[in-house]
Structure 1
């Protein structure tokens, strides 16, 4: 009986070695079993996991994004400075402002040098980090190989399988709740992406009228006539910081800096103010036409600089105008900024407020043609009088707020393709003067043109290249980097 019982126990516990068998009574026995296998070293596994986590923290996505930002800035600056040099070579300025042009180019070269220095420093640091991380990865790889041999019970293997199943289940659940990724490009076939950051002012000037015309706007035409690709425009509020009746043109940035206007003023009307003249500083130029808030009306006017004709677009009923919905911060409001016009790669947009949306921003696309028509319209959750400005870039609305006398923050965005709102953009940029009274993005050079208390300053914006569109069969949608 004892022999058959011992044989049965031996067959049942093949992984164990039978050391002793003692009989405790006539009809029972007690077996003492000792495991011949070494226990799995869970402490070594936890140490390997900690080392892998440290590697992930050391090499973060932010480091890669910072490097991409520097390379993108360099990619934008080099063609631009080449264009400015070519323009300077052919521009007949009769020694009026060639020196100022050279100062602007010198500033560009200084910024390019700073970018190269940052890139060199980043590259050296990344090389050292890569070497150290490679050693750690080799050590972790060897450690995991040893642990795999010790894992005879396949405990870790089953844990990994369970984790994969749990991850797949979570992705399946999330996939049922999330929207399908968009496969259409942003409006206007934008070749860039969303804002990564905004640099300090590249150049600023008081222009022809130092200290005069506190309110106004300036910029470049995203859709210029042939021969006017390098032209700039400026509209000062020539009456009561509220009205304007002409557009002033400049053949280059250098001529704008020193105040040499060619061909001079293009008159909307001989008197100011009157029917269809400009009210408020938030104006833009697009396709050789000026878009602005019509005098004393809740409507957008378009003044064609070639034909000198005016067409208008009535905004929805309940639109607030005549100083009832201005941009503001805690210390000041900007009068007659009820309607804000903006341009991007796709055309012209109008930013306004309505009673139906309780004073929150409303965004509408202005469709070209005759007559003008409102196209796509989106309502936001941003209260107009709690923000200081807004602009469009690559089909995305960006909204700014006052931080202090030296800084402004882009804190909000609205994607016109997906309708998604983001209140945590968090891009800070520096100002020359406390109040930015007009702010507009130029798709021509990816600049933000700011009019600040009678001073004009272009601020360089840095955008990211969008990732390739994801096929419909995938379960993930890549976001364009901010």
Structure 2
């Protein structure tokens, strides 16, 4: 039993007034205080505080719990993509249109799923051990806190805790009263209602171009603004001479005709102003491209065969600012045409912007510049780029099977990011051309003589 004693000295004013002065003695009281629970265990409290602090820090550093949830979501999405890909492969197989590339992609995806499942299993085992240890510590601390609270006979600590909570609530309430509420609107990148690019599917189609493997450079796709009667038309153009220029654009009336290499129409483009490089495209029934050996853009009308050209101010050309990997560059990719919901764009670089990418929106009729934006991403560090809703997305080479969409520039807000880490699965190492079509929200890609398309997913 603990004993707390105290002395109370009374002044002379409290002495017996009838006693002579010399005989006055201060009265003294002595009191025994019996504490039934013993002395307060201060050392135990300090140890408990230290354990609690270490436990809190451990929880703050335990990223594995959130990582495992993200990995589970990734596995679920990959399983859905795999099932869809297998169905597509079966349809291609039944139609005798399948390629070994499609089968190889399925094999790679299964290998990745097995690897992810192994990682997830290991992470779950670690998390279970960690959670068991933390549960035990929390239970022990709870029991010890209950014991320590017995010493607080007047409930001082508990009341202090309630006062702190009440004070916080009062401060929060006062702050809320001073703020004028306004509806929160989540900002969307670019100029469209859907959100930022989240993921890219596996190739929805993959086949060798119709001219053969000797033509690694080219472009293909579907007109985002087709003329009446050409809504289902697809086009293919190859760079046939020294990976520098080609003069033929081949069109097909439907995707079936394109897949089966059926009936087509060849149109000779240029009339003296030939296309240079693989950056051209069809938009509004006209073929747009970099004019051969010139710092100009050209527009070739697919119906009337008329050609319009205009200088692209200060733009690099003839391999001054091409797209590159870390080991080599794609020749004559200085000027890259692009389409999205806002119309026609050109992506290029200038010396004034230190070789960094410049984004310009074009007048589709006379090729004049409507608006321009300077970015801070060096064009030679980029392998390709495309536009979606006024947002520029740029890619870089990771390895022979994966290209990464790593950078974005929002022309609406001016926001730049270089940490996107969106993977794009490839069947072959190189990507010489890519363009987004706002009509079907697909990304059309020309990769080492193969033509592919991808479906984009947004937030």
- Which structure is richer in relative contact order (CA contacts within 8 A, separation 6 or more)? 1
1:186 Cα offset (Å): 3.8
Aligned to 2:199: 196
1:400-443 per-position Cα deviation (integer Å, ceiling 9, x unaligned):
22334443332322222322222222334343333221122333
Instruction: Evaluate the alpha carbon distance shift between residue 329 and residue 231 of structure 1 in structure 2; reply closer, same or farther with a 3 A threshold.
Output: same
What TM-score, normalized by structure 1, do the two folds share?
0.66
1 CA distance for matches of 2:256 and 2:366? 37
Q: Deviations over 1:151-181 (max 9, x none)?
A: 842599499869979x99xxxxxxxxxxxx9
In the alignment, does 2:241 pair up with 1:239?
A: yes
Q: Cα gap change, 1:383/1:30 in structure 2, threshold over 3 Å: closer, same or farther?
A: farther
Counterpart residue number, 2:157: 153
2:342 pairs with 1:346: yes
Q: Is 1:293 matched with 2:295?
A: no
The CA distance in 1 between the partners of 2:90 and 2:217, in whole Å, is: 32
- 1:19 and 2:32 matched: no
2:97 is the alignment partner of 1:100? yes
| TM-aligned CA deviation for residue 129 of structure 1 | 12
* CA spacing shift, 1:102–1:233, aligned 2, 3 Å: same
Q: 1:315 to 1:125 in 2, by over 3 A?
A: same
Distance in 2 of aligned mates of 1:337 and 1:184: 33
In 2: Cα distance, 1:228 partner to 1:101 partner: 27
8 Å CA contact 1:396–1:416 kept in 2: the answer is: yes
Contact 1:284–1:290 at 8 Å: present in 2 too? yes
| Pair 209,195 (structure 1): closer, same or farther in 2 beyond 3 Å | same
Cα distance, 1:184 vs. partner? 5.5
Task: Tell me how far apart the structure 1 counterparts of residues 220 and 441 of structure 2 sit (CA, whole Å).
Answer: 15
Q: Distance in 2 between matches of 1:208 and 1:461?
A: 23
Counterpart check, 1:329 vs 2:317: no
For 1:159-308, what aligned pairs fall within 5 Å after superposition? 185-197=188-200, 199=202, 201-225=203-227, 228-258=230-260, 260-269=261-270, 274-275=272-273, 277-308=274-305
Counterpart Cα distance in 2 of 1:143 and 1:129? 23
1:473 corresponds to: none
Aligned residue for 1:460? 454
CA distance in 2, matches of 1:320, 1:162: 66
- Sort the Cα spacing of 1:378 and 1:308 in 2 relative to 1 into closer, same or farther, 3 A: same
Q: Which residue of 1 aligns with 2:181?
A: none
Do the aligned partners of 2:348 and 2:358 also contact (CA within 8 Å) in 1? yes
1:306 partner SS: coil
SS of alignment partner, residue 208 of structure 1: coil
Kindly state the Cα deviation for residue 244 of structure 1 after the two structures are TM-superposed.
2.4
CA contact (8 A) 1:329 1:386 kept: yes
Structure 2: 5+ residue stretches without partners:
10-24, 173-183
- Cα shift readout 1:205-246 (whole Å, capped 9, x = no counterpart): 223211232321112223334554443211111333222223
**Alpha-carbon offset, residue 131 of structure 1:** 11
Q: How does 1:349-428 map to 2 (within 5 A)?
A: 349-368=345-364, 370-428=365-423
- 1:49 pairs with 2:47: no
**Does 2:438 align with 1:443?**
yes
The two structures, once aligned, show a CA RMSD in angstroms of: 5.1
Q: Deviations over 1:289-329 (max 9, x none)?
A: 3221123332322333234333344322x221122221223
- Kept after mapping to 2: 8 A contact 1:246/1:265: yes
Gaps of at least 5 residues in structure 1 are 1-16, 89-96, 169-180, 466-482
SS in 2 for 1:234: strand
3-state SS of 1:153 partner: helix
Larger radius of gyration: 2
Change (3 A) 1:407 1:163: farther
Closer, same or farther: CA 325–146 of 1 in aligned 2, 3 Å: same
Per the normalisation by structure 2, the TM-score is 0.69
Query: Whole-Å Cα distance in 2 between the matches of residues 119 and 404 of structure 1?
Result: 19
Distance 1:140 1:425 in 2: 38
Instruction: Provide the C-alpha distance between the structure 2 equivalents of 1:147 and 1:436, rounded to a whole number of angstroms.
Output: 63
CA distance change for structure 1 residues 396 and 433 in 2, over 3 Å: closer, same or farther? same
Instruction: Describe the SS at the equivalent of 1:385.
Output: helix
2:206 match: secondary structure: coil
